[in-house]
Chains A and B, each alone.
Chain A
Amino acid sequence: MQARSGANPGARPLRILLAKLGLDTHTVGVTVVAHALREAGMEVIFAGLKQTPEMVARSAIQEDVDVVGISTLCAGHTRSLPRLAELLRSQGAEEKLLIAGGVIPEEDRPLLEQAGVAKIFTMGTDTRAIVEYLSGWWAHRQPGNAAAGIAAAER
């Protein structure tokens, strides 16, 4: 399943920023996801480790990504993720999809979803599920829904 087809030069690849918020430095999860997304034809921009919400928001805007993916294994996510969503909103980037993965307990989800995190993938989620989710989301955003796409992009 590709978010971009080599045979179709008009197809645009999905651009996603991956980052780790907080001090935790486990990179296996984000490494595996990055490779899987690349294999699916997406452009993965890795912002790095020990990122703050401010740094991530700025990178997301500079790179004009479609999706921001956060990996977190710490408890700070209940503060940092909403903060990131807030920053994206206040800087006019709310149409960027915000997703998160890692160690995020069930009871934190309603708060995060309300704050603007569109989808949460628990630790150990099959990468194919992540690819499928993003590919599906992306397909809906392509011309075909041309009018909606342009209006959204020029907002």
Chain B
Amino acid sequence: MNAPRPQFAGAPDGWASLGEAQARWEKETRAPYLAANPEREALCTQAMRWPVEPLYTPRDLEAAGFDYLTDLGFPGQYPFTRGTSPNGHRSRLWTMTQVTGFGRGEDWAKRARFMLEQGLQGLILEYDLPTTNGYDSDDPLVAGEVGRAGMALDSLQDLERALDLPFEKLRYLMSVCNAPQPVNLAMLIAALEGKGVDLGTFGLSIVNGILIEYTCVGRYIYPPEHGLRIATDCFEYIIRHHPNWAPISIISAQLQPAKATPVQEIAFSLSIAMAYIDALLARGLDIDTVAPYFHFVINVDMDFFEGICKLRTYRKLWARLMKERYGASRPQAMQIRTLTSPTTTALTLQQPLNNIGRLAIMATACALGGAGETMSTPLHDEAHALPAEQAIRVGAAIQHIVAHETGVADTIDPLAGSYYVETLTRRMEDAARAEIERITALGGALQAIETGYFQRALGREQYQRNREIEEGRRKWVGVNHLVLPEERRELRIFRLDERIENEQVARVRALRAHRDAARVAGCLEAVRRAARDGANLVPPCLEAVRAYATHGEICAAMRDVFGVYTPDSQLAGV
């Protein structure tokens, strides 16, 4: 990296003079000021706890061996640090989305239509806990949970009701499903076909991100190696039959509630991506075909610069990994695709209006770091309750304000070259690389999951972070700083009408009574066979779904073959 030394204007010998000038400034200007005005506290970045220097100069870039062409390059070109699109957001703004659902199919549809009217173009379908755990609404284990954390999806019928939408306004639909992915995918295909939607032009995206679930969130069913096989089946199916869809979304954002640091987020999520890639390559697909399909959901937290640098680091590291480790040659294989979002973990239950400010700041950081293809705003009032309509309006407005009123999206990667931003980006990149090496040495992400490496690391961070807040070393307005002691902030659980659960239960029972039982039984047996033999699970799930086998029944058929995963507590993060 022997680039010609940049010139420090006003000095004949480059950075040495700058160093001297800085030393003089320290001694003559800053030190006297400091003597009378000591620093407030030891200042560090919020998540990484890296000490923050008072001042960054070209000397820091030199120390890091920074070189414009190697480290940054140009937008739309390797290593894509300045952006994957050649023209940033100057031609097309990011797609604006929000999380939607709850209730029954038609409740979701109603809310979805409202959101489309507010100017949103993409919707995110989330399912209730029974569904993500592979149960039907009438299973005794799930009483009280139906339709609460998301939509209840027992059968094709429910999805048909949910997708009663103006498809001309809808650009993008993402379905957040992990463990029961092949069932969910089959239902989506069947439902969209039923609505006459042109699958060739519609943008469907499935999450299919089971490996992250094992590290933190916990919505898994089957043991990790089977989880990976199932995910690979869905991925491969989409590549071969619906190449315009997005078969995976690595939601590294899920690592944040688990208190992962930015370096851990980057390293864990990229290692997980590599596990999927390796599985697909083992099936005979090649990197240039597979890599362009990867999609990441990345959240930024309140530390403004950590967030911006994280987004830039992701772009650069993905490009490097694809090229150096896998030998990718197509640019599309090296351009990371992302959905960015302010994180809900930064929002407080206390003084919720403050959250609007936080969201605006984080949305701005997303835009400055490079919002990627899509940005999603959580709602200021979300704190464990499901969305209220006013909050939806505000969330959507924040994105439009950032896009149209601030100018941050009008030039590409405006913070590039900042002494601080480039130093921090480089530091993050180096640390993330080292962590990826460590995980690779362990045998990769699957091994790390099975031995509890990720879970233990996150457990430690969780405890650390909590202590910092309790001891006041990390200030959080409303929680341990500027607290309103008399504030009685009510925890709103979104209480669904109990009738909704009862109706859903009745529905799925009625469905079972009125279908061709023999056909369903045959389809379920075919699912088991495919599970045992290693054939792709999606086609038999499609057959089963069209026969109106229920979600729970198909998941149970797979349970019969794969078993259920019960990790020990270390692996659960305790």
Contact = CB atoms under 8 A, between A and B. Distances in A.
Touch A–B, Cβ below 8 Å: yes
Interface of A: 18, 22-28, 30-32, 34-36, 46, 48-50, 52, 73-76, 78-80, 103-106, 122-124, 126-128
A53 B463 CA distance: 27
A19 B458 CA distance: 19
Contact of B493 (A22, A24, A75, A127): A75
Contacts of A104: 491
A122 B479 CA distance: 13
B574 A34 contact: yes
Interface of B: 129-130, 133, 141-145, 148-149, 216-219, 257-259, 349, 384, 459, 462-463, 466, 470, 479, 490-493, 495-496, 566, 569, 572-574
Nearest to A80: B144
Contacts of A27: 216, 218, 258, 572-574
Contact of A103 (B133, B218, B491, B574): B491
B462 A75 contact: no
SS class of chain B's interface: helix, strand, loop or mixed?
loop
A2 to B, nearest CB: 17
B145 A74 contact: yes
Nearest to A107: B490
Nearest to B217: A25
10 contacts: A18-B574, A23-B133, A27-B218, A30-B574, A31-B462, A34-B574, A75-B496, A103-B491, A123-B384, A126-B470
Contacts of A80: 144
A106 B488 CA distance: 10
Given A25-B219, A26-B257, A123-B349, A75 B495 contact: yes
Contacts of B129: 22-24, 74
Given A48-B572, A76-B143, A128 B384 contact: no
A124 B491 CA distance: 11
Given A27-B573, A128-B470, A32 B463 contact: yes
A35 B462 CA distance: 10
Contact of B466 (A25, A48, A76, A127): A127
A49 B221 CA distance: 12
A128 B573 CA distance: 21
A32 B466 contact: yes
Interface centre among A30, A31, A123 (most CB of B within 10 A): A31
Contact of A127 (B133, B470, B479, B566): B470
Contacts of B569: 46, 48
A23 B462 contact: no
B492 A105 contact: yes
Contacts of A31: 459, 462-463, 573-574
Given A26-B218, A32-B463, A75 B491 contact: no
Contacts of A50: 133
Contacts of B572: 27, 46, 48-49
